[in-house]
Amino acid sequence: MTNSTISRFSRRGFMGSMLAAGSAPLTLRQARAQAAQPVRVALATPLSGPIAIIGNDVKLGAELAVEWINSNGGAGGRRIELLVRDSKNNANDAVSVVRELVADGVKLITAGLSGFEALAQMPVIDEAGGLYIVNGTQAMAVTHEAFKRSMFRATDNDIEGTRALVQLAMDRYGDVTDWAVFTVDTQANLASALLFQRLLTEESKARGKTVNFIEPLLVKPGSGDGKVQLSKIMSSNTQGIYSQLVGSDGISIWTQARSFNLQSKVRAIVDKGSEVGFAKAMKRNVPNNFWTMTTWNHRLYDNVQSKALYDGYVARTGDKVPPGWLYNGASPMHIFAQAIAATGTIEPAKLIDALEGGLAINSPKGALRFRREDHQVLADVCAMKFDPADTEQGFEVADVARMEGAKLLEPAAPGVAFKA
């Protein structure tokens, strides 16, 4: 090799080294610029339509959580920018909004208050390489036949919630032996009501007791008329009711129940979904011993996330009885933020690996994790009891309860349809 050849290679090596050295500060500047940018996280929830009141509670919960996270170091040092879209409780609109979000490069999305929304959105977000936190629906298909690895459910499922109500009924009202299921006549609601009937019968038998049920009491959705069904309760031995009368139907029918003097007969009501909004609408007309499921109640948890959510709600609204739906918006924000902090990235694939690997998340309900196989959250199932009260609001939250969700779940079977 000649001296000129050596010199030529040396000059090439020198120039390459200089170019590499010159590119390093640029990469560092890019990294710093990226770190200074906020993390865009989207919430798609019904802000109009029949369940807008719930969707707006979810939105408020997300906003309060983001405010707290950003004031306490953000997501791994980066602020969260919350993008909110109206899914309108309609499958077509729910899909349209997530398509627009992923087209705009937003890959961290929470939605799915209703089952049909979640099932329609999951394939879109999965195909886009996103991370989807389902924040509301109990539909079993989400973690069974429709399962996608990019999806994590942050709330309880139907079998888990129903078993919790069965446990509550047996523990609090074990001497009530005659029951009725009272529900709006939809396929999903009736299936859930009949599941409660079967599980309560089985649990009673396991405890050496017998329970009886009259024929299921069904009302047409939107009719708000339960007089025929209430008459059947009054003419039977019924002392306990499982209710899936939600929204305006529930308010109308439980108001009608007062004229039947139902309180003189029925000792226990366990309800799947009426929540605080029902009691606020009913005021002093709320039935006695009315237990309803809730995703969170501040009286059950003494941690900084729970306190921040409660204090933020009171400061924003002046109301001291927060809806549990706040948690459905807040919890996904904590999940996103803590997963980003733990991994040091916003790359969905790496966040999925961390959550699937058992990363513990500090939420308003304490520490939670996701089951590796089907990404079902492992967290408490909560309930609260309303009674009428001589107060300005006309009711009180007389009692609260929580049950360990992991003990109530069915075996994981992603990709396989659930059979009750």
Instruction: Quote the percentage of the chain above a pLDDT of 90.
Output: 84
- Note the pLDDT tens digit of each residue in 24-34: 554 655 555 55
**pTM given for the model:** 0.89
Residue 71 has a CB neighbour count (10 Å cut-off) of: 10
CA–CA separation, 158 and 293 (whole Å): 12
pLDDT of residue 32: 56
| β pairing state of 108-111 and 131-134 | parallel
Mean pLDDT of the region 36-54: 92
Average pLDDT over residues 117-139: 97
Over residues 81-88, the mean pLDDT reads 97
Task: Write out pLDDT tens, residues 307-354.
Answer: 999 999 999 999 999 999 999 999 999 999 999 999 999 999 999 999
pLDDT band for position 102 (cuts 50, 70, 90): very high
Q: Any idea what DSSP says for residue 283?
A: G
Name the pLDDT band for 187 (thresholds 50, 70, 90).
confident
pLDDT of residue 25: 54
| Neighbour tally for 75: CB within 10 Å | 23
Residue ranges of alpha helices (H) inside 128-226 are: 158-172, 187-206
Question: What is the tens place of the pLDDT at every residue in 364-392?
Answer: 999 999 999 999 999 999 999 999 999 98
Q: Per-residue b/e over 269-283, b at no fewer than 16 CB within 10 Å?
A: bbbbbbbbbbbbbbe
> Taking all residues of the chain, what is their mean pLDDT, rounded to a whole number?
92
Per-residue confidence (pLDDT) for residue 189, from 0 to 100: 86
List, in order of start, the domains of the chain with CATH numbers: 39-156+300-379 (3.40.50.2300), 160-294+382-407 (3.40.50.2300)
Sequence-separated (6 or more) residues with CB below 8 Å from residue 184 = 218, 219, 220, 221, 244, 245, 246, 249
**pLDDT band, very low/low/confident/very high, at 3 (cuts 50, 70, 90):** very low
pLDDT at residue 28, rounded to an integer: 53
Nearest CA among 250, 206, 205 for reference residue 229: 250
pLDDT at 183: 94
H or E, element range at 330 = helix 325-343
